[in-house]
Amino acid sequence: MDGSVSISDTSTINVGGMTCKSCENTVRDAIISIEGVISAMVSHQDSTAIVNSNGTSLDLISAAIRNSGYTVDGLGLDFNWSDLSVWKQSARNTMWCLIGCSIGDFGTIAAFQFVFTDSGWSTLSIMTLAIINGLLTSIALETLIMSKQMGLYEGFKVAIGMSFISMVAMESSMNITDYLMTGGAMLTWWAIPIMLFVGFITPWPYNYWRLKKFGRACH
């Protein structure tokens, strides 16, 4: 792709990092904001942007796409750990993930601690179930949030694809912390804040990296 060439009529640009309709809208808005661009059709499934313009520089359009957080022909902005706006956005994403995980995780532990006290389940079994339920409730919450932007099915696919690693890291760190402090499967007033803090801090750098390197988050 020769950056000195101008787009004439219609051209197709390879865009990386898009995962959903919200990503498509972000890329489209970045492109059509450029003077001379007539229209843009963006597809996250095909990883393309079909641009109709009146002689607009290809470099200019590529720069706009990269500045919006996505790649063109595999090239994006140089990665760094000093983008305050990305830290804030990734913190918000991590917070929602933490809320979702905590609902299922803490709810399961509380059920065995206060209701099913004679269940006969081992600590390991309860913690395993708590992790599974935490993942399920987090996926459900993320799906609900993103379904408002892209529909239920697309929201579910993005929740599974983009957030699952973060959820697993969060659940693992929270339950390891619980086990080290209380022996496991035990909620106490002083342990819960520490579990939440560790659960937040553990995946936060990963969420920043994912957001900064591969594109904007979808919720």
Shared domain for 22 and 56, answered yes or no, is yes
Residue 30 clears pLDDT 80, i.e. is over it = yes
Q: Is residue 78 a part of any domain in this protein?
A: no
Shared domain for 55 and 12, answered yes or no, is yes
Could you give the 3-state DSSP secondary structure of residue 217? coil
Residue 13 clears pLDDT 80, i.e. is over it = yes
Nearest in space to 204 (alpha carbons), one of 167, 154, 157: 167
Q: Which tens digits make up the pLDDT trace of 132-171?
A: 999 999 999 988 887 877 678 877 877 777 678 889 999 9
Shared domain for 57 and 98, answered yes or no, is no
Residue 173 clears pLDDT 90, i.e. is over it = yes
Q: Is residue 22 a part of any domain in this protein?
A: yes
Could you give the 3-state DSSP secondary structure of residue 14? strand
Q: Is residue 33 a part of any domain in this protein?
A: yes
Number of domains present in the structure of the chain: 2
pLDDT at res. 190: 96
pTM of the prediction?
0.72
Shared domain for 112 and 203, answered yes or no, is yes
Q: Is residue 107 a part of any domain in this protein?
A: yes
**Mean pLDDT of all residues in the chain?**
86
Q: Which amino acid is at 176?
A: I
Last residue within a domain, chosen from 44, 72, 100: 72
Shared domain for 13 and 33, answered yes or no, is yes
Domain that holds residue 40: 6-72
Phi, psi of 39 (to 5 degrees): -160, 165
pLDDT at res. 8: 55
Shared domain for 135 and 210, answered yes or no, is yes
Q: In what order do the strands lie in the sheet with 37-43?
A: 37-43, 48-57, 6-16, 71-72
Last residue within a domain, chosen from 72, 96, 130: 72
Shared domain for 101 and 197, answered yes or no, is yes
Shared domain for 57 and 101, answered yes or no, is no
Residue 213 clears pLDDT 60, i.e. is over it = yes
